[in-house]
Amino acid sequence: MAIGRLSMKVGGKGKACAHSNYIERQGKYAHRLETGERLVATGSGNMPEWAQSSSQFWKAADEHERANGTTYREMEIALPRELDDKQKEKLVREWVKQEIGQKHAYTWAIHSPKASDGGEQPHVHLMFSERVMDGHERGPEQFFKRYNSKTPEKGGAKKANTGKHPLERKEELKDLRHRWEVMCNRHLRAAECRERVSLKPNNEIRQGEPEPKMLPSEWQRG
């Protein structure tokens, strides 16, 4: 059985740019690639016109998001060793297309560090903004302002918050993990691998972890 793991994280104001540099192994994090770790692939998308790079977008989020706001949400997902690099990248790109689509700015990166058994431990970081891309042009400062429901073009981009009950969010997290299991196993079958991943319900929240709170359909206020 291949490793199955999907964890959820949230980033506050001042954390986004550093985290994007971390997952893309840029700046002070570039040295990590000299220790045997591999950066398999990276990608980003749905960026506003003013963002010439993913770092520029996340820096603006840190600067202009309100003090108690969230700047990004992140999925961290284990990838099967049984897939080669191109197959892993294909799986991730299909996942991003399905779960993020055209609605949110995002950045992802596949890491493959050494594992304790001598093999590799491939996984993907997928961070994305909860601000919805609605077609209105906004500068970086306006983009992160509060949404104006009466005249959307005058306010910031809307956050996809739903204010759902924690139990409902937990159920939706189960659905997200199930979708990953289905897609991942389909890619394993296509690669003619006998291994399969499994994300069992009783492993949804590991003891001591905060309750997962990020799913495109289960936003919290932030």
Kindly list the distances between the CA atom of residue 169 and the CA atoms of 34, 60, 68, 106, 152, in Å, as whole numbers in the listed order.
40, 29, 21, 21, 27
Residue 49, pLDDT score: 94
Q: Is 147 a catalytic residue?
A: no
Residue 168, pLDDT score: 80
Query: How confident is the model over 178-186, as a mean pLDDT?
Result: 96
Q: What is the pLDDT of residues 78-90, one digit of tens each?
A: 999 999 999 999 9
Banded pLDDT at 209 (limits 50, 70, 90): very low
Banded pLDDT at 151 (limits 50, 70, 90): very high
Say if residue 149's pLDDT is above 60: yes
CA distance 95 to 162: 22
Query: Over pLDDT 70: what percentage of the chain?
Result: 88
Residue 1, pLDDT score: 62
Q: Which CATH number fits domain 6-203: 3.40.50.2020, 3.30.930.30, 3.40.190.10, 3.40.50.2000?
A: 3.30.930.30
Banded pLDDT at 8 (limits 50, 70, 90): confident
Report the predicted TM-score, pTM, of the whole model to 2 decimal places: 0.86
- Tell me the domain boundaries of the chain: 6-203
Residue 163, pLDDT score: 66
* DSSP string for 171-212: HHHHHHHHHHHHHHHHHHHHTT----B---GGGSS-TTPPPP
Q: What is the pLDDT of residues 80-124, one digit of tens each?
A: 999 999 999 999 999 999 999 999 999 999 999 988 888 899 999
